[in-house]
Each structure stands twice: as C-alpha cells, then as structure tokens.
C-alpha cells in the first residue's frame, strides 16, 4: 500500500496505540492533528503568552535553562534564547540512528504537543506533522541523550531541522540540508517562540519509540522461538509430553502456558515423535534445553507483557518541563526522568539473552553425535570432508556471548550534568540502543537454530515431521537448499534471518496454529 493510500492516524489529546507508532515509524503512515488537539494546543499557548508578558519570571518562558535558569531573559531576546537552545543542544555525535527511530520520536513528541500541556503554537505542531507526512527525517546521532531532561540532543536535532537548519534524509532517503528539503516539501521553517524550544526537546520520546519498536519485534521472535524449539525437540527425538496443558497448569504463568501450547501444537501429527513413543524408548526425560523451553520462553513473554504495560502508560503521558496545566499554571516537574523506561529496556535484554542461550544449547545438541541420537556429526553430508554446521554454532555462541554483555544494566549508571543541577539521570537512551542490538542478535541466533533444525529433520527421513514443522522447513527451503556438500553458509544464515524478519516463517504456520494463539 502506498503512503498516499494510508488513512491518516489522528493525533489527539489522548493515547496512541503501539501498532500506530509502528505504522508511522516503519510504514510511513500519515498523521493528522485532531480538532480537539488543535483546540487544546491553542488554549495552552494563550496561557504561555500571558506569562510571557508578566513581570514574574517563568522557567522556560522568560528564563534560561538548566543551571542557567536563574537568569531572566528580556522579551526582545527570547527568540534568540529558543534558537540558541536548539543549536546548542543539537550536540549529538557518532553514527546516525535508524530512520524508524527518528520517525517514532517525532511522532511521540507530536503526540505530547497535542495534549495541550506544552504551550507550543498550533503552527509549530502542524509543521512537525507536515515533516512526518513529507518523509523528511532529521539526522539524529547515536550519542547525546542521558535519558533525563528528555532525549535532549536527539530531539534538538529534530527541532533544528524544523527551524530549517542541520541535515535531514528526504523522502527518497538522500541526505540534504534541512532548509532545502523543507522548501521542496512546501513547509515553512519555524521561528521558535517562548517555551517552544523546551517543548520540542524535553521528552522521553526516543526511549519510548525504541521500546515500542523492540517490543513489536520481540513479540514475533518469541513466536519464532517456540517453532524452532519444537523443531529441535522433534529432530532430537524428544517428547511433547512435557508440554501437556495439565502439566503446565501446575505452574500458572500465562506466558509459559502460551509457549507450551504452541510447541505442543507444532509437534502434533509428527511421525518422528510417534516413532519413539513405545516401550522400547529408554529415555524418561529430555535435557533442560528441550523440556524447559516453555518455561524460559514463557518468562520472556511475561516480561514483555510488563514492558508493554509500561509503554502503554507512557503513550498516555504528557512529558515536558515545565508543563501547562488546565488552569493556566505553568509548573516544573520531574516527569522527564527516564527511569520507568530505562528499567524495562534493561529488563528485556535479560530474557533475550536467555532465550538465545537456550536456543544455542539446542543447536549444539543437534551437532554432537554423543547427544543427537543418530544424526551425523555436525549434520555434515560427509563428516570429516565436510564440516556441516560446526561453525554456524560458533557464530551463535559469539552472538549469545554479546547478548550476555548487552544484558548488563545501563540504568544503574548516572553521570551528573548541567553543573550538578541534573545530578541523577536514567541513561535510558543507551539502554534502548543496546536493546535494539539485542533484538537483532536474537534473530540471528534463531536463524541458525532454524537452519540446523530443518537440516536435522531432513536427516530423519523417511519419517515425516509434523505439519507445522514441515511448513516451517518448507518455507526455509524456498531460499536454502537441504543437506548436501558444504556450501557458503553466511548467505544461508542471512536468508533465514530475512524469512524471520519478513514474517514469512510465522505466516507459513498461522493457519496451523490458529488454535494456539501467541497471546
């Protein structure tokens, strides 16, 4: 669907849904300010303008910022004040962050402006919406946010572009001066007035945007993990009995029940599983990496549920300092502190590392002739001449090790700033950046398990896998051939990752698992 065919998402004074954030950030869905939001923005602006003309100083309206808030700024210097704020705060460094992250933070800042608690002019909010709809994405650098007082440098880069300064990516993805891109899109650069510089920069929007995007990705990856785990159980001649509903009900964690139900359904009808159900099978229980997969995957699901709850609360929030209240008061507050987001951004990195770790252990079992129950060494076509998936597991292990490092919390750190005025910060932006890398790492680990388990199932022929696991293997075989002499493995890992990321793997089994939903 083309962008111009998408129905605009109305930005009102209430909350946004997580899927709307993803639609704007990734799919280019257009946005429109709602009528109620426009009224709220205009009403709040009237309060700010009244305070701007008062003799009493108001932070952010007629004073400096941070540790410089003690200075009263005369009326004829306040536009200079706002311009200087944005230019000085657009102090990011390092590589540019992904366009989807920038679009998410632009959308979330727009939503806060629409609440009528920031005091911007209606035209400023409309210009930000126009930038989103025109596909103009400011260049935002990796470093510059401490996750407190807002994602300052990232949001300042957006505000700078709104002023017609700095660099952007245009709708075709080319770098261009912001002024030129705005001009081509018919958008007039904004000259900021009182309070608007703070209103555009004092939010946790980058952290929140990355949390929403990571949560969407992780929800799908946990569904994939259930499938690759089921394939590994099947390939290793494991049992599905441990996933029975009555056993899972003895420990009533909701995520565990979901993963066990999905794995049990994925193994239904398997000739391979049926082949060793009789009394001749001497094994009474499987290794932990097989038997306990629902417990690990389920705990990750429950952790994700909590993180999404925090995200939903933030999506209903108005984060700014100071804020304009309904009665016209402008009050300082600490709602910009990123701790609620930083904690769950850190928290999600832990189950990601663990889900990846248990997947790597299953993969390793399939490659080891001492534990694989009859599979060839390293799943090689001619072991000794061929190495099979030996080094694919090395890649998995390297990624898992990296994921363990990324699971070290960033939110426990704090470096004071602004001459000790901002003496405790969340570091939530950094937590979000490492979470994005962790999500990518989990996808790679699951891709290797997918490749390995599918190859192992092929070696179990003529016994046929379950319909669900067959469907997963078959979609992989559209891109990656079955067992044979050693081939260049890196492209095959990349292809498996692409099939996971595109939704093709989950799409192949959606109908089969309709009675075992993911949530």
Give the tokens for residue 76. Answer: 């004829």
Helix/strand/coil (H/E/C) assignment for every residue in 223-275: HHHHHHHHHHHHHCCCCCHHHCHHHHCCCCCHHHHHHHHHHHHHHCCCHHHHC
Eight-state DSSP code of residue 142? E
59 is an active site residue: yes
Report whether 355 contacts 225 (CB < 8 A): yes
Dihedrals φ, ψ of 512, to 5°? -65, -40
Report whether 191 contacts 124 (CB < 8 A): no
Q: DSSP states of 402-462 as a string?
A: HHHHHTS-STT----BTTTTB-----HHHHHHHHHHHHHHHHHHHHHHHHHHHHHHHHTTT
Distances (CA, A) of 29 to 132, 312, 443: 9, 20, 26
332-352 residues labelled b (16+ CB within 10 A) or e (exposed): eeeebbbbbbbbbbbbbbbbb
Reduced to 3 states (helix: H, G, I; strand: E, B; else coil), residue 386 is: strand
Report whether 117 contacts 151 (CB < 8 A): no
Report whether 482 contacts 455 (CB < 8 A): yes
| 332 vs 63: CA distance, rounded Å | 13
Distances (CA, A) of 4 to 9, 130, 222: 12, 14, 33
Dihedrals φ, ψ of 196, to 5°? -70, -30
Residue 149 makes CB contacts below 8 A (sequence gap 6+) with 66, 202, 321, 336, 418, 422, 425
Dihedrals φ, ψ of 95, to 5°? -65, 160
The C-alpha angle 181, 182, 188, rounded to 5 degrees, equals 165
Query: Annotated catalytic sites, by residue?
Result: 59
């Amino acid at each position: 669907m083309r962008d111009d065919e998408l129905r605009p998402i109305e930005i009102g004074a209430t909350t946004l849904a997580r899927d709307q954030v993803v639609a704007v950030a990734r799919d280019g869905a257009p946005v429109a300010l709602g009528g109620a939001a426009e009224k709220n923005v205009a009403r709040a602006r009237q309060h700010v303008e009244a305070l701007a003309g008062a003799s009493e100083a108001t932070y952010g309206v007629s004073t400096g910022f941070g540790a410089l808030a003690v200075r009263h700024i005369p009326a004829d210097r306040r536009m200079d004040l706002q311009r200087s704020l944005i230019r000085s705060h657009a102090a990011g460094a390092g590589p540019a962050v992904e366009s989807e992250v920038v679009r998410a933070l632009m959308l979330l800042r727009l939503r806060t402006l629409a609440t009528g608690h920031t005091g911007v002019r209606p035209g400023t909010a409309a210009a930000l919406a126009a930038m989103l709809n025109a596909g103009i994405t400011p260049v935002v650098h990796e470093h510059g946010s401490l996750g407190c007082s807002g994602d300052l440098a990232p949001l300042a880069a957006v505000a700078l572009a709104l002023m017609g300064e700095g660099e952007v990516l245009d709708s075709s993805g080319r770098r261009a001066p912001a002024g030129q891109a705005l001009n081509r899109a018919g958008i007039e650069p904004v000259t900021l007035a009182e309070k608007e510089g703070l209103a555009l920069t004092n939010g946790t929007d980058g952290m929140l945007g990355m949390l929403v995007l990571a949560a969407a990705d992780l929800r799908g990856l946990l569904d994939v993990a259930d499938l690759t785990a089921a394939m590994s159980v099947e390939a290793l001649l494991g049992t599905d009995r441990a996933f029975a509903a009555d056993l899972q009900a003895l420990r009533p964690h909701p995520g565990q029940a979901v993963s066990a139900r999905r794995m049990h359904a994925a193994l239904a009808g398997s000739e391979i599983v049926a082949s060793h159900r009789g009394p001749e099978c001497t094994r009474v229980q499987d290794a932990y990496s097989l038997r306990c997969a629902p417990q690990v995957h389920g705990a990750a699901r429950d952790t994700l549920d909590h993180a999404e709850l925090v995200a939903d609360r933030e999506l209903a929030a108005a984060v700014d300092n100071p804020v304009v209240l309904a009665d016209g008061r402008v009050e300082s507050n600490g709602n910009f502190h990123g701790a609620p987001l930083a904690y769950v951004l850190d928290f999600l990195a832990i189950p990601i590392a663990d889900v990846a770790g248990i997947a790597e252990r299953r993969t390793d079992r399939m490659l080891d002739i001492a534990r694989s129950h009859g599979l060839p060494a390293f799943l090689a076509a001619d072991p000794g001449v061929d190495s099979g998936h030996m080094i694919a597991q090395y890649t998995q292990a390297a990624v898992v090790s990296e994921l363990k490092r990324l699971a070290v919390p960033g939110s426990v750190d704090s470096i004071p700033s602004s001459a000790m005025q901002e003496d405790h910060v969340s570091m939530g932006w950094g937590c979000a950046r490492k979470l994005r890398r962790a999500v990518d790492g989990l996808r790679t680990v699951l891709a290797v398990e997918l490749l390995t388990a599918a190859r192992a199932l092929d070696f179990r022929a003529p016994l046929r896998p379950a319909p669900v696991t067959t469907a997963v293997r078959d979609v992989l075989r559209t891109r990656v051939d079955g067992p044979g002499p050693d081939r260049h493995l890196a492209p095959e890992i990349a292809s498996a990752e692409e099939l996971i990321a595109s939704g093709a793997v989950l799409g192949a089994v959606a109908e089969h698992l309709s009675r075992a939903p993911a949530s």
